[in-house]
Structure 1
Amino acid sequence: MSVLIIIFLTAVIALFAGVFEQGKFSRYIGILGLMIAFYVSFLPEISFFSQYQHMFEFGANAALFTKIAIVITILLFFLGGFSFSNHRNHQSELYALMLFSLCGGIILFGFQNLVTLFLGVEILSIPLYVLAGSNKTDLRSNEASIKYFLMGAFATGFLLFGVALIYGSTGSFDLYKIHEFAVVNPKNLMFILGAVLMLVALAFKVSLAPFHMWSPDVYQGSPSLITAFMMSVVKIASFFAFFKLMTIGFLGITGEWINIIGVLIIITLFLANVMGLAQTNVKRMLAYSSVSHVGYLSLIFYGMNSLSSYNLAFYLFAYSLATVGVMMCLIWVEKLKRETSYTAFNGLGHTEPILAVAATVSLLSMAGIPLTAGFMGKFAIFAQAIDQAPFLVLVAVLGSAISIAYYLRLIMVMFFPKESSFKTSEKVSLTYNIVAVFIIFALVAMGVFPDLFAKQFGL
């Protein structure tokens, strides 16, 4: 909870920096606060907060996923100087809202109670409704905001209805008491219906097909840095909450919901990858790519073992790093060309090789090519699920093979353009190049030496 308080106070300070017309410093305030929070996440929790353990507990898994989310947020804040250059009048609000949303994510990492789960989901989501529409002169951004808000409210209705049925069945909001009830009463119809409703609600939040329909439009319409935040930090928080709820609270009725997950995985992997092939806009292609990765991640529910949480964390970190690597390239191209079609990237590899190589390594990692972190992440999850769900693993492998086509298309455009090369007098900033080099190194190092991940995060 110490980390949560630090990030909350950082968000408040960043917000008030704008009030005093010092919004340009909000990014540095945010980075400093996040670095302090990252350091504190390695320290033992203050005993004072033990009285709140029945609602929120900053245990080993919560600490691990919090560290990952903080690292990714820091990288995104480094990219904000260029990305938010046309939001000079309200930069402080944008950074503060991202930090408030991160607070919701941290609550989801440590929730022990369905009330805390609801609060975490809403604190995570509400700032995003504003952030999605922060580009007020862009109709796509306005559409993204209202669509995200309406679908988010719809999902919240499912969530609260499910919570009501769970409470009506068990008489408790506590996750572990719910677990005990499920073990003793695995055939309670009201309880099962509540679990299914909560599954549907969180399937909306993580973008499992067919509950993903909001994602492509929202991701494409939102400002690109906000899209990167939603595709990485928000995905980490929402999927871990999904994983924790289903594997602790509803573990006793696994047989009632695991087949539903299996069907959603098949729909997600087929639909997202086929639609990804059909896209002519890189940002929309990445949106469908993000949906497909939820399908791969959902295999974590099969063949559960003591390493499942670690495998999930590794995959999410590898995927999030790759997302930042591609999106930073897209942010720069979009600023210069004012579009994100494939043709906008023509010849980028010859003009800005470091940026293009970072995007290339990131795309290869997303595709699961060997010697990248993405390959190790997929391998660990597929290996865990292979005995219990061999057909689903086969579907996931085929989905990965299909995804290579649309990832390679962007790589070919950047390095082997058919038309004129990418030409501009403006050069990428030193900050972007440093972040690009870090992502290249991290994705390759984790692919070759996967144990580095455990060492760096204090495991």
Structure 2
Amino acid sequence: MSVLVVLFLTAVLALFSGVYNQGKFARYIGILGLLVALCVSFSPELAFFNQYKSMFDFNENAALFTKISLVVTLLIFFLGGFAFNNHRSHQSELYSLMLFSLIGAVILFSFTNLVTLFLGIEILSIPLYVMAGSNKTDLRSNEASIKYFLMGAFATGFLLFGIALIYGSTGSFDVHVINTFSVANPKDLMFVMGIMLMLVAMAFKVSLAPFHMWSPDVYQGAPSLITAFMASVVKIAAFFAFFKVMNLAFAGSIKEWINILGVLVIITLLLANAMGLAQTNAKRMLAYSSVSHAGYLGLIFFGANSLSVYNLAFYLFAYSLATVGVFMTLIWVEKLKRETSFEAFKGLAKSEPLLAVVTAVSLLSMAGIPLTAGFVAKFNIFAQAMNGAAFLVLIAVIGSALSIAYYLNLIISMFFHTETTFKSSEKVSITYNIIAVFIIVAILAIGIYPDLFKVQFGL
């Protein structure tokens, strides 16, 4: 709760900095507020907030995912100075909207009530609808906004209808009461129908196929920094909420929904990786990559044990680091080339070797190549799922093999074209170089010594 207070005050200050034509300071206000929130997240909650535990419980798991989201958001804010230099009149709004969306994420990490879950999802999503269309002169950005809004509203209808049926069956919104009901009445028809509707809604939020159709167009049309935020922080919040509600509230009825989820995971892994192979645009390829990672993450529901939350956190942190690493390069190339096709990246290693290296390391981590954080993350989840879903693990391994091909397409464009169209005068800022080094070191260090993840987040 203390983190929420800090983030809210920071978001309001960032927003009002634009009122006094000081929008350029919104990023610095946001960075300062995020650092304070990160410090607060390591402190025990004030006793004053204990009265809200029936709706909001900032426990150890919530604190872990909050810390991860704050670190990733900090990296994204550091990239904003260059990414948003064409949004000078709207910087305060964009930074404050990201902070408000982050507030929704923190609520999702701590919900103990389906009403709080709904509020968290809406607080997370509504700013995203606006940010996706913030590039008002770009028709693709306008299309991304309206498509995301309409499909998001449709998914919200499923979520509310599902919550209504759950309440009608159990007489409560509390996840612990619902869990007790699910154990005693696992096959109750109204209850199971409510679970299915909520499953569809959450599958949309995390981009599981076939509910992923919004992702490629929205990811490509939204401003690249916003896409990076959606592919990392939003993914962290949505997937943890998905995992928490299905395994905490509906654990007693797991036999009724786990096979359906398994089918969605198979469709996601095969379809997303196959579509990724067909892409010639880096941003759209990353959209299908994000969908495929939702499939890998879906394995966390199978063979769940006491380490599942840790495995989920490790995977989401490793994936988010890699996402920021690729998008920082994409943002820079897009600014110079006005496009994000693979062709635009040709010869990047010759003019900006550090950007090319961080992109290559990030893509290899996404593919799950050994000595990277992504390999350890996939290994942990695959090993867990082997206990109850070996066939799904086989599909996931095939999907990972397919993904290497389209990740290599981008790496080849950067490193194996001797001619470069980048001018020697076009150099990245010191901030980008520092972040690039940090991401390279973090991905490799956690990949080689996974226990550093525990040390970093005080586990």
TM above 0.5, yes or no, is: yes
Deviations 1:303-344 (A, max 9, x none): 111000000000000000000000000000000000000000
SS in 1 for 2:56: coil
Contact 1:158 1:200 in 2 (8 A): yes
Please give the residue correspondences for 1:105-124 in structure 2 after superposition, counting only pairs within 5 Å.
Answer: 105-124=105-124
Letter in 1 for 2:344: A
Deviation at 1:419, TM superposition (A): 5.3
Distance in 2, Cα, partners of 1:363 & 1:18: 37
Separation in structure 2 between the aligned mates of residue 104 and residue 20 of structure 1, nearest angstrom: 27
Give 2:28's aligned residue.
28
| Per-residue CA distance 1:98-120 (angstroms, 9 max, x = gap) | 00000000000000000000000
Hey, what does 1:138 align to over in structure 2?
Answer: 138
Aligned to 2:319: 319
In structure 1, how many angstroms separate the alpha carbons of the residues matched to 2:344 and 2:332? 11
- The 5 Å alignment of 1:291-306 reads 291-306=291-306
**Residue equivalent to 2:256:** 256
Deviations 1:147-201 (A, max 9, x none): 0000000000000000000000000000000000000111100000000100000
Percent sequence identity over aligned pairs: 76
**Partner Cα separation in structure 2 for residue 236 and residue 387 of structure 1:** 24
Q: Which residue of 1 aligns with 2:270?
A: 270
TM-score, normalised via structure 2 length: 0.99
Q: Give me the CA root mean square deviation.
A: 0.7
Asked whether the 8 Å contact 2:102–2:124 carries over to 1, the reply is yes
For 2:172, the aligned partner's letter is: S
Matches within 5 A, 1:55-134: 55-134=55-134
Residues 350 and 418 in structure 2, CA contact (< 8 A), matched pair in contact too:
no
Residue type at the aligned position of 1:314: F
Report what 2:448 is aligned to.
448
Task: Tell me, yes or no, if the aligned pair for 1:161 and 1:197 is still in contact at 8 Å.
Answer: yes
User: How far apart, CA to CA, are the structure 1 residues paired with 2:115 and 2:23?
Assistant: 34
* TM-superposed deviation, 1:420: 4.4
Measured after TM superposition, the shift of residue 353 of structure 1 is: 0.6
Q: What residue in structure 1 maps to residue 213 of structure 2? A: 213
Q: Tell me, in whole angstroms, the C-alpha distance in 1 between the residues paired with 2:89 and 2:226.
A: 17
Partner of 2:156: 156
Paired letter, 1:64: L
> Which residue in 2 is equivalent to 1:202?
202
SS at match of 1:260: helix
Query: Normalising by structure 1, what TM-score?
Result: 0.99
Q: CA deviation at 1:379?
A: 0.1
1:413 — aligned with what?
A: 413
d(CA) in 2 for partners of 1:366, 1:33 = 30
SS at match of 1:284: helix
- What is the rounded CA distance, in whole Å, between the counterparts of 1:209 and 1:423 in structure 2? 41
| 1:42 matched residue in structure 2 | 42
Query: Cα offset for 1:387?
Result: 2.0
Question: What is the identity, as a one-letter code, of the residue corresponding to 1:69?
Answer: S
Q: Could you tell me how far 1:423 is from its partner in structure 2?
A: 3.2
Deviations 1:338-395 (A, max 9, x none): 0000000000011001111000000000000000000000000000001210000000
Matches of 2:34 and 2:230 in 1, distance apart? 18
2:238 is aligned with 1:238: yes
1:424–1:150 CA distance, 2 compared to 1 (3 A): farther
Query: Which whole-Å CA distance do the structure 2 matches of 1:327 and 1:407 have between them?
Result: 13
The alignment covers a number of residue pairs equal to 459
**Unmatched segments (≥5 aa) in structure 2:** none
Decide whether the 8 Å contact of 1:345 with 1:422 is kept in 2: no
Q: Which runs of 4+ in 1 moved over 4 A?
A: 418-421
- Alpha-carbon distance in structure 1 between the residues aligned to 2:155 and 2:455: 38
- Pair 1:385 & 2:390 matched: no
Q: Which runs of 5+ in 1 are unaligned?
A: none
Say whether the 8 Å CA contact 1:350–1:421 is kept in structure 2: no
